[in-house]
Structure 1
Amino acid sequence: MATTRPSSSILLRGGTVLTHGDNDHVVPLRDTDLLVRDGLVADIGKNISPPNSDTEVIECKGKIISPGFVDTHHHLWQTQLKGRHAEQGLVAYMYSGNMMSYAYTPEDMYWGQLSGCLEAIHAGTTTVLDHAHCAYTPGHATSALNATLDSGIRAIFGYSIPMRMSRWDQSQCIPDPDLLPEWALSQLAELAEKHNNRPAATVEIGMGFDFWFLPQEIVLSIFGKLRESGLRLLTTHVGCNAFMGLQSPIPKFQSYSLLRTPYPPTDTAPAMPFLLLSHCNGLPQEDLSILASTGTPISSTPGTEAQMGMSYPVALEPTLKQSRTANVSLGVDCHSNDPSSIPQQARMLLQLTRVEKNAHILAEGKYPSRNVTGTSEEVFNLATIRGARCLGLEHEIGSIRPGKKADLLIFDAERSVGMLSAAEYDPVVAIVRFSEAADIENVIVDGAVRKKAGKLVATNCTRGVEEKRMVMEWSDVAEQVRRSQREIQHRIDGLSLEKARDMMLSAYHTDVSRLVDAAE
């Protein structure tokens, strides 16, 4: 993943370019050229000539050029935990996954985060909001941020302080009482001041926050000070259920004046960061209406929500879908149990929404006819332009237009097995319903090619032997992850997961009589 561009301009010649027209309608431009210059889309049209002899020309006949995908909720550090949570619900994941930054060293964090970013790029994600609940120590946070920068992905690094343990072994699991250590708030403020005032930066600092039980004056004081340091975005997990809480937090957020439409990095007026809510399953209709009317952004993660018992995803819920002011998007959440594929999340969203709608029709003794709920274009937009809108970045990314950042995907539809015929019928349907990560031939982020000819390009790593920078191929990164995974597993073997479960349920004041095993 080279940190310098091989040339200042790239010409994509003769492809089908997916542009956006009025009301976010996708307009395919066939046999069209696209010129990238200095990290921006410079021109779209027919028979564009290379501006100079150094221009890299990529032949795109039979290929689809799409905006890069925008992932608005992901925990990128969790690569070494992949596979562990495939058959787990939310409760089991929380103590065996969410809390496992305890078993990571800062170096483990680097390799987990780097490979998480690269997996996302491979699947076509060019921008990600990373809810990085991995800031166990200053070193862990620095390593995760360095890995994000090295990967070349565009990101909002949502610095988040996890539930930390003062001691955890086979005999006990004792939480650290200092939930918001001063070192973490100081580091977060310093990082925001450093990274959020650079117009050309590809990584912005945000914050992940879930400690809403703290007094209002403390919470708002923290947010206000961080806003002064340049913090623009907060993100939090939201849901109503017997584990996450049966009382909706939306009235609290409203009373804190945190529910509002996203604003761009250039807007210095707001006194508080804006709040992006992840999940939102189980919220009452009146609260969804509040979120829709205020334009408060939502990230829906269908795969995790379906598996972990959070109920149906809300992204295509009628209250949100029919509102002109609602801001809704898609996220992967945990690539420890789902691939880092936004099209796969879009696919699951469509089918889960259709199951829910059809179930109501069948329960009335009727049968659905004609068309079904949701369209490929709707979910494609959730993955692109609407995702950008949820991050306040609509004028920079999310669609292909001259002057916007060159965050682009090239799908090799001509040689794809799965996209055959679908691409000729409708390129949006082909991407949403039939594409795979292997069909993405090139990924361009900020004008730099990060995936070429179907393979991730080499990356400059800031960690490794004696902290030296080194250029590494994907196979080298993967080997470091495997080594790290073995070491993490050895540490996990020394921990009591049962003690962790008991501690967590006690800390969350969970009514254990409401917990049931879905496998029984």
Structure 2
Amino acid sequence: MARSALVPALLVTCSFAVPAFASSVLFERGTIITFNNASQSLEVLRNASLLTSSDRITAIFEDSNANITIPPGTQRVSAEGKIISPGFVDTHRHGWQTAYKTLGSNTTLAEYFDRYGEFTQAGTVFKADDVYLGQLVGIYEALNSGVTTILEHAHATFSNETAAAYLNASIDSGVRMWFCYALHTLSNGFSVADQMANYKDLIRDERLPESLVKMGLAYDAFASASDDEIRSVLDLAKNTDAAALTTHYLGGPWFDANSPSRLNEFAFLNTSMPIVFSHASFITPDDAVLLRKYNHYISTTPESEMHYGHGHEFSAFIQDQAAIGVDTHFTYSTDIITQVRIWLQSTRLKLFSQTMRDWKIPRNNPMSVNQAFLLATRSGGLALHRPDIGVLQVGAKADIVVFDGNSPNMLGWVDPIAAIILHSHVGDIKHVLVDGKWRKRDGELVLGQNRTAIEQRFLQSARIIQKIWETTPLPDLEGVYSNGIVYGSAMTVDVEKGNGTGY
């Protein structure tokens, strides 16, 4: 498994010669949001510059105190009036579902399971090219919104062909990715044993060492599979040095027992491999203790958990071991800023309400914009055990997002962190670098592929898939959902006079 030494403390003033690299970029005279290891907090530098060389940040300096040798051929980019931020980290996503866009605008999680997920007819409808195009176009959207790292719960592993196409798109995209191959029991005859063999083949891909993609595993059957199968999956993760393991964990009425406690029964938490538990909506105190003890993380996906109805009842109380994800981005954007803004305000509401229920007026705000910013950046890197991702520090990876601080909605800002979290949108993102390479420049995506041709192919693929789902009847959600929990009807509201919510 790839490991990274801790990066050195932030260099603010310096006097040294930067070695010459083939590719260097200097962002000049901007406002930079750094992370200070000594204080373990965000730090803002104004009228400062940032130099990248190859794939790393090699200097961060205030112009008034600098004596920096700039490598020949360095690209100089004015950052005056701009805010320079670390790239955003998405710790839970299913990119292949892009073709479903807008079809699930009023769906629920129970309906999703029967209609849009990995165990539906998707396994027979989606061909390799459909998966490739959906994943690639979905990543375009992520890069455009400043997401530079994705942990992909890759569950379009319906066959050797779809899995290979899925990986190819991820490599071709230029995003930094932990590609976690899903092992799952499907109805099309592609068995877990077949998937394990396919995973072993894919991790030998000769492109991987030079790419930004690392291979991991996703597995959701810790509650339902035999102990023998579970042990074989965990052995595969260990023996292949998987870059990460991820699993969906909801708990509560969902009875989804892919919990830290369950993995601890197999003595698997005591590992240097990152383990990410997606959602953790009804996480227990015992599970929280285990996360802190073994340094594993949850990925909360705020808009998903509100949209689909699985909620985030207790996950606000384990934010020291949490990061932010997007989940099923076909029902909303892959914009992490929107996700963390929703999370910030829903957490504030939850904790404000607790105080007011006791007939007390809150004297303080329970969560700050700085904490939200860290969840969207550094916490994602820590969830992947990579302290050199999601931060702007000397020695960190050159994953950088530059915001236009003079846009109409950001104009007048004083606090750059608040400006990003509360006032920015995707249109304010001018530049994106991943691993020191341009992915967006002057507001336009910079890609290795012919974007227009790819998007046209995607639209042809999506129209065919969308027509199939539009004509597929909705599932009949009656009776018992699971383990004695029955389906129930939520109260509906209507803006106009009438009955219920009009779809």
Q: TM exceeds 0.5?
A: yes
Deviation at 1:493, TM superposition (A): 5.2
Secondary structure of the corresponding residue to residue 478 of structure 1: helix
Does residue 424 of structure 2 align to residue 430 of structure 1?
no
Does residue 196 of structure 2 align to residue 185 of structure 1?
yes
Alignment-derived partner of residue 397 in structure 2: 405
Amino acid at match of 1:119: E
Identity %: 28
Alignment-derived partner of residue 487 in structure 1: 464
Deviation at 1:102, TM superposition (A): 3.6
C-alpha contact (below 8 Å) 1:13/1:58 kept by paired residues: yes
Q: For the aligned residues, what is the CA RMSD? A: 2.5
Of 54, 75, 80 in structure 1, the residue corresponding to residue 94 of structure 2 is 75
Alignment-derived partner of residue 60 in structure 2: 44
Secondary structure of the corresponding residue to residue 280 of structure 2: strand
Alignment-derived partner of residue 421 in structure 1: 412
Does residue 281 of structure 2 align to residue 281 of structure 1?
yes
Does residue 359 of structure 2 align to residue 365 of structure 1?
yes
C-alpha contact (below 8 Å) 1:350/1:373 kept by paired residues: no
Deviation at 1:384, TM superposition (A): 1.1
Alignment-derived partner of residue 478 in structure 1: 455
Alignment-derived partner of residue 306 in structure 1: 306
C-alpha contact (below 8 Å) 2:400/2:432 kept by paired residues: yes
Alignment-derived partner of residue 9 in structure 1: 24
Secondary structure of the corresponding residue to residue 329 of structure 2: coil
C-alpha contact (below 8 Å) 2:274/2:384 kept by paired residues: no
Alignment-derived partner of residue 145 in structure 2: 123
> Distance in 2 between the 1:338 and 1:211 partners?
27
Secondary structure of the corresponding residue to residue 42 of structure 1: strand
Q: Deviations over 1:93-113 (max 9, x none)?
A: 122211334421111111100
Alignment-derived partner of residue 174 in structure 2: 152
Amino acid at match of 2:294: T
Amino acid at match of 1:43: A
> Distance in 2 between the 1:476 and 1:456 partners?
14
Of 227, 241, 254 in structure 2, the residue corresponding to residue 230 of structure 1 is 241
Secondary structure of the corresponding residue to residue 316 of structure 1: helix
Amino acid at match of 1:276: V
Q: Deviations over 1:149-202 (max 9, x none)?
A: 111000001111455334xxxxxxxxx5x651x33111212223447983x531
C-alpha contact (below 8 Å) 2:94/2:328 kept by paired residues: yes
Amino acid at match of 1:398: G
Deviation at 1:309, TM superposition (A): 1.7
> Distance in 2 between the 1:103 and 1:515 partners?
31
Secondary structure of the corresponding residue to residue 498 of structure 1: coil
* More moved, 487-496 vs 228-237: 487-496
> Distance in 1 between the 2:39 and 2:216 partners?
29
Flag the 1:286–1:223 CA change in 2: closer, same or farther, 3 A. Answer: closer
> Distance in 2 between the 1:418 and 1:442 partners?
18
Amino acid at match of 1:160: A
* More moved, 221-230 vs 19-28: 221-230
Does residue 269 of structure 2 align to residue 253 of structure 1?
no
Alignment-derived partner of residue 4 in structure 2: none
Deviation at 1:497, TM superposition (A): 4.4
C-alpha contact (below 8 Å) 1:73/1:131 kept by paired residues: yes
Give the gaps of 5 or more residues in structure 1. 1-5, 167-175, 264-272, 461-471
Does residue 380 of structure 2 align to residue 387 of structure 1?
yes
Amino acid at match of 1:97: Y
> Distance in 2 between the 1:476 and 1:50 partners?
42
Matches for 1:233-244 after TM superposition, within 5 Å:
233-242=244-253, 244=254
Q: Deviations over 1:194-217 (max 9, x none)?
A: 47983x531001111101111223
Give the gaps of 5 or more residues in structure 2. 1-20, 493-499
Flag the 1:247–1:188 CA change in 2: closer, same or farther, 3 A. Answer: closer
C-alpha contact (below 8 Å) 2:322/2:383 kept by paired residues: yes
Deviation at 1:436, TM superposition (A): 0.6
Amino acid at match of 1:386: S
C-alpha contact (below 8 Å) 2:283/2:315 kept by paired residues: no
Flag the 1:142–1:246 CA change in 2: closer, same or farther, 3 A. Answer: closer
> Distance in 2 between the 1:125 and 1:239 partners?
25
Deviation at 1:315, TM superposition (A): 4.9
Alignment-derived partner of residue 467 in structure 1: none
Of 348, 352, 355 in structure 1, the residue corresponding to residue 346 of structure 2 is 352
Alignment-derived partner of residue 163 in structure 2: 141
Alignment-derived partner of residue 59 in structure 1: 78
Alignment-derived partner of residue 5 in structure 2: none
Secondary structure of the corresponding residue to residue 410 of structure 2: coil
> Distance in 1 between the 2:459 and 2:466 partners?
11
Deviation at 1:512, TM superposition (A): 5.9
C-alpha contact (below 8 Å) 1:195/1:203 kept by paired residues: no
Q: Deviations over 1:402-457 (max 9, x none)?
A: 2221100111112x1111222xx111111111111111100000010000111112
Q: How many residues align?
A: 465
Flag the 1:195–1:241 CA change in 2: closer, same or farther, 3 A. Answer: farther
Flag the 1:67–1:25 CA change in 2: closer, same or farther, 3 A. Answer: same
Secondary structure of the corresponding residue to residue 52 of structure 2: strand
C-alpha contact (below 8 Å) 1:33/1:48 kept by paired residues: no
Matches for 1:210-225 after TM superposition, within 5 Å:
210-212=220-222, 213-225=224-236
> Distance in 2 between the 1:48 and 1:132 partners?
47
C-alpha contact (below 8 Å) 1:73/1:332 kept by paired residues: yes
Alignment-derived partner of residue 513 in structure 1: 486
> Distance in 2 between the 1:383 and 1:97 partners?
27
